[in-house]
Amino acid sequence: MSSPVLHAFYVGRALADAINERAERLLTDGLSLAGKFDAEQREYFRQFTEDVMARAQQAEAEAGVSYSSTAPSAATTDLQATIDTLRAEIAQVRVALQQYRTTPQV
């Protein structure tokens, strides 16, 4: 191969690697932001639900009616644990991918 062709090959390869890395980072960051947004919205909804239930309890207490509630807090905790686990796995995959990319390939 001639030198300009060989040079173009390596430039193209470096460009493709850089684009792949950027796309990977954008995708993982986007997924992370989406997960964070989802968690925040679920927390907001949980707080909103608790507020509504507290108002309902107050209204029933004022009316002289008894009220009992069991909140599904375990499901919220399990969801947050799942989100945290997924974020940790994404971080591990990033590290493994960076290590793979930095090792010389024959």
Q: Which residues, including other chains, have CB under 8 Å from residue 39's CB and lie 6 or more apart?
A: 79, 80, 83
Q: pLDDT tens digits, residue range 60-104? A: 888 886 655 555 556 666 888 888 888 999 999 998 888 888 888
Measure CA 31 to chain center: 5
CB atoms within 10 A of CB 28: 16
Model confidence band, residue 13 (pLDDT cutoffs 50, 70, 90): very high
Residue 50, token pair as written in the block: 């608790």
| Side-chain half-sphere CA neighbours of 62 within 13 A | 6
User: Is the entire prediction scored with pTM above 0.85?
Assistant: no
Q: pLDDT tens digits, residue range 17-73? A: 999 999 999 999 999 999 899 989 999 999 999 999 999 888 888 888 665 555 555
Closest listed residue to residue 72, CA positions, set 59, 53, 57: 53
Collapsed DSSP state (helix, strand, coil) of residue 47: helix
What pLDDT does 3 receive? 87
